[in-house]
Structure 1
């Protein structure tokens, strides 16, 4: 195997500061204690470790990736030591008793863990062995995902995984694609250049005021963190003059300075949801703020978060401009993941062009995708879409019924809306127009695809 470093890759150089951190970590490995007796409603996880910038995000990221819900947390990292207590449950609100899961938590957070490597200092072209990672940012508009998917299909690329966010007229996506012929990463530099050029043209559209960007990503930064970084760099936190979003629907973010201790105290109150803690900690970390103390309470419908922070240089927030920018950035981080729209889940056999065909049908029915997650597991495509109409309003139930008839009732499911949870009408074979776009033309061939529970 040949390992090739780009001119931007700094991993081949020796960093004495990094070696010192490794030495401290070996001398003071993280200690993880899991307690199912201390709380009646949650599993309590205690983490003690040598302190470093970003360690809180690393711990929260591990818990979030395991689909654990943090109901309470207490954080303290003054001095050279990091001490944290999390009360967690599973998605159903239950304690964690599965020994396999508990052992995985200990390994992921304990002495043998490596956590997540820091993001690269630059973005370049270096596809992985299994897939090519493409990052996209640009102005959001109805049909954008359909156009991007169509271009990739025409270029003989298969989308195996993707996550797409939209917020405040901006869109960002991280897409993992493979070559249609080989099923692996795309290696040809000329072909990569063509992909980047054509996708950038799609993203630009007719918008001349805001830029668009397409890159083939270098490094292994966590996908959701990368999306936060991309939208932050794209300044999606800047409100438009005609932004009419009701103030009561915005997160309540405030900040004051505690001058006696040189802390800035950030308080967040908003509707609770999964991954809220991750989104706020991710933003504070990437804005180069250090969390010294924090108190998190999300046991009710409203989440409360309180952070005592300083800039990495040791100073609190020093100006009204910096304060306003931080508040805007935290509001944006919370809003990006808000599921705006009707949730649709598609499950069927994967194939090249599947995403293009599905999103084309959405576009032809005047639906706009506000957020999407595309995954492929063992040859099955499991895709989640949040959709609204082209004007940003809730979707007409008749349009959804028509689309489900076209794609297949068992293939496309409506989730999280009582309006659509009633028994669906029986499908007519003549209405199942989408069947020929899959590997087979008959619903009976989808026997392996079960409706979501």
Structure 2
């Protein structure tokens, strides 16, 4: 029986490949039709998850999707996106346009091209999830530095008292992935002890993985599995004013459920909602997205993969809660700090230790190294719940280096430093002015 089922599954996969070869994706990039955006149209044989793959490619390039029209009824998929760069301009860079075209051609394995992926041969991936608390990132990075692990890339999200992170590490001496099972077991045990710093009943988890999974999609999956969407009784009312407006009604004539989302617009919002619906095993048949103003509007006609619309009030409420959580996970409250300098082992540990000792907590972080440069973004808040003090930020910048750590978030009390100096540093010259680079000029697709 198992052999028969396996044979049938293999036949289905081969049939899908044949259909894709017979109906290759067609990508049309148009810079003429719309005066303020580049129009990208994708036509392809339909399969579950293809919309997410396309959106993932566009968002990984840091493109802003201002409008989208989705249609994937039957065996064919068609989507039209209006996109701009971060400054609201059309996309004219031939390298970017060529990348988009090549990423969507037949058998291109578009997911493996995504910026959020790291080859399992290059580094070891560690997934962490536990209760959020001030100083957690500092403790995690200190443990890894002590174990002679270099943090190549990392992303940290916090939501609803939970913290999740995907960290890519290499061996400090060899610069390669860590494969020794005993060493990995020790890393897991020590990190799990850090995550268990609270007696909270929900379990902390540490997983070592060699799978090449898109980092941000994996974070959504981890927090969903951790049930971060469940509203806490003690803070549900506090978040009511900021909660996204999500509604679901059934369209009985067409046997669809219609999901409508209204919320403040932000980058990667479309990816977050499409990712969540896809991983919850819902298929988006039709949809429209409008994010040209400060508020984003999304509407999707969905069915579960078994062909049914939302069947119960409990299911409807669960989908709403999961979409709300997906939107709020990436909402970054706090001051945005960008750090760019020459990378070295222990850098993240040193920086986050200064944050912790200065009374700040990290609510979200993106850590990247490329060509020997560390390019890190932190969203920080006062650990006591008060507004971040401008003097505290200036003290931190003096310690790390004024030109190395930049304040990017709005901070009404902070003073603009006309002539930045980095003579004061706790690291004895480890941060040098020549190591500074403009973070915004580093292309995420390189």
TM-score, length-scaled by structure 1 = 0.90
Q: Distance in 2 between matches of 1:137 and 1:291?
A: 29
Match of 2:318 among 301, 320, 325: 325
Say whether 1:446 aligns with 2:437.
no
What is the aligned-residue RMSD (CA, Å)?
2.0
Cα distance change on mapping 1:25 and 1:307 into 2, 3 Å = same
Q: Distance in 2 between matches of 1:39 and 1:425?
A: 43
Determine the structure 2 residue equivalent to 1:4.
Answer: none
Q: Are the aligned partners of 2:120 and 2:212 in contact in 1 as well (CA < 8 Å)?
A: no
Say whether 1:229 aligns with 2:216.
no
Determine the structure 2 residue equivalent to 1:423.
Answer: 417
Determine the structure 1 residue equivalent to 2:246.
Answer: 253
Measured after TM superposition, the shift of residue 451 of structure 1 is: 5.8
SS of residue matched to 2:67 = strand
Q: Distance in 2 between matches of 1:428 and 1:362?
A: 18
Deviations 1:375-423 (A, max 9, x none): 1111111111000011333211111111111111111111132533622
Q: Are the aligned partners of 2:188 and 2:207 in contact in 1 as well (CA < 8 Å)?
A: yes
Cα distance change on mapping 1:149 and 1:38 into 2, 3 Å = same
Q: Are the aligned partners of 1:367 and 1:390 in contact in 2 as well (CA < 8 Å)?
A: yes
Return 281-290 or 373-382, whichever deviates more.
373-382
Match of 2:354 among 353, 361, 386: 361
Determine the structure 2 residue equivalent to 1:124.
Answer: none
What residue ranges of structure 2 are gaps of 5+ in the alignment?
1-5, 113-118, 441-446
Determine the structure 2 residue equivalent to 1:6.
Answer: none
Determine the structure 1 residue equivalent to 2:190.
Answer: 198
Match of 2:278 among 264, 272, 285: 285
Match of 1:79 among 74, 93, 97: 74
Cα distance change on mapping 1:426 and 1:347 into 2, 3 Å = closer
Determine the structure 2 residue equivalent to 1:372.
Answer: 365
Question: When the two structures are aligned, how many residues end up with a matched partner?
Answer: 427
Say whether 1:17 aligns with 2:44.
no
Q: Are the aligned partners of 1:410 and 1:450 in contact in 2 as well (CA < 8 Å)?
A: no
TM-score, length-scaled by structure 2 = 0.92
Q: Are the aligned partners of 1:149 and 1:355 in contact in 2 as well (CA < 8 Å)?
A: yes
Say whether 1:396 aligns with 2:383.
no
Q: Distance in 1 between matches of 2:215 and 2:48?
A: 20
Q: Distance in 1 between matches of 2:210 and 2:175?
A: 20
Q: Are the aligned partners of 1:340 and 1:386 in contact in 2 as well (CA < 8 Å)?
A: yes
Q: Are the aligned partners of 2:44 and 2:78 in contact in 1 as well (CA < 8 Å)?
A: yes
Match of 2:156 among 149, 164, 177: 164
Measured after TM superposition, the shift of residue 111 of structure 1 is: 3.3
What residue ranges of structure 1 are gaps of 5+ in the alignment?
1-10, 118-126
Match of 1:385 among 378, 391, 402: 378
